[in-house]
């Protein structure tokens, strides 16, 4: 068993083309023994957003704080705390902070890889 506190997990800026004001904490990942699923905590600053992208892995997203605008290939909707979102494999998506406070959400990713940011810091 592995237990951690969100305040003790290092936060990294998401440095990807098409992203603005996005930070991530890798709460659970392969480096601590989670071989199939990664659990991440994202914070998006006011005016920030993730890239509009698609990829093989699916996402399960749960909004904790703030107001999100979720862009899909053919639709856009607004999400608030308590909203759960499923994004399937290869579905185009983008998450934007649509409020006046930081947006915070949990997001899963199916992967057995250790996050690149942690590899670079030689933590795992």
Average per-residue pLDDT for the chain? 94
Which pLDDT score is estimated for 120?
Answer: 77
For residues 115 and 26, the answer to whether their CB atoms sit within 8 Å is yes
- Average pLDDT for residues 15-25, to the nearest whole number? 95
Read off the pLDDT of residues 63-96 as tens digits, 9 standing for 90 and up: 999 999 999 999 999 999 999 999 999 999 999 9
- Average pLDDT for residues 49-74, to the nearest whole number? 95
Which pLDDT score is estimated for 119?
Answer: 79
Enter the CATH code of domain 9-120: 2.60.120.10
Which pLDDT score is estimated for 122?
Answer: 64
pLDDT of 123 > 70? The answer is no
For residues 48 and 94, the answer to whether their CB atoms sit within 8 Å is no
CA distance 82 to 62: 7
pTM (predicted TM-score): 0.92
Which pLDDT score is estimated for 37?
Answer: 94
CA distance 20 to 55: 19
- Lowest model confidence (mean pLDDT) among 24-28, 36-40, 77-81, 108-112: 108-112
| Sequence ranges of the domains in the chain | 9-120
């Amino acid at each position: 068993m592995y237990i951690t506190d969100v305040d003790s997990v290092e936060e990294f800026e998401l440095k990807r083309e098409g992203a603005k004001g996005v930070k991530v904490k890798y709460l659970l990942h392969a480096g601590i023994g989670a071989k199939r699923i990664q659990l991440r905590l994202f914070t998006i600053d006011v005016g920030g957003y993730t890239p509009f992208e698609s990829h093989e892995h699916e996402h399960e997203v749960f909004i904790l704080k703030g107001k999100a605008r979720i862009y899909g290939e053919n639709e856009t909707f607004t999400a608030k705390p308590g909203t759960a979102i499923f994004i399937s494999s290869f579905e185009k998506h983008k998450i934007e902070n649509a409020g006046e406070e930081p947006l915070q959400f949990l997001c899963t990713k199916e992967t057995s890889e250790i996050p690149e940011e942690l590899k670079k810091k030689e933590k795992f």
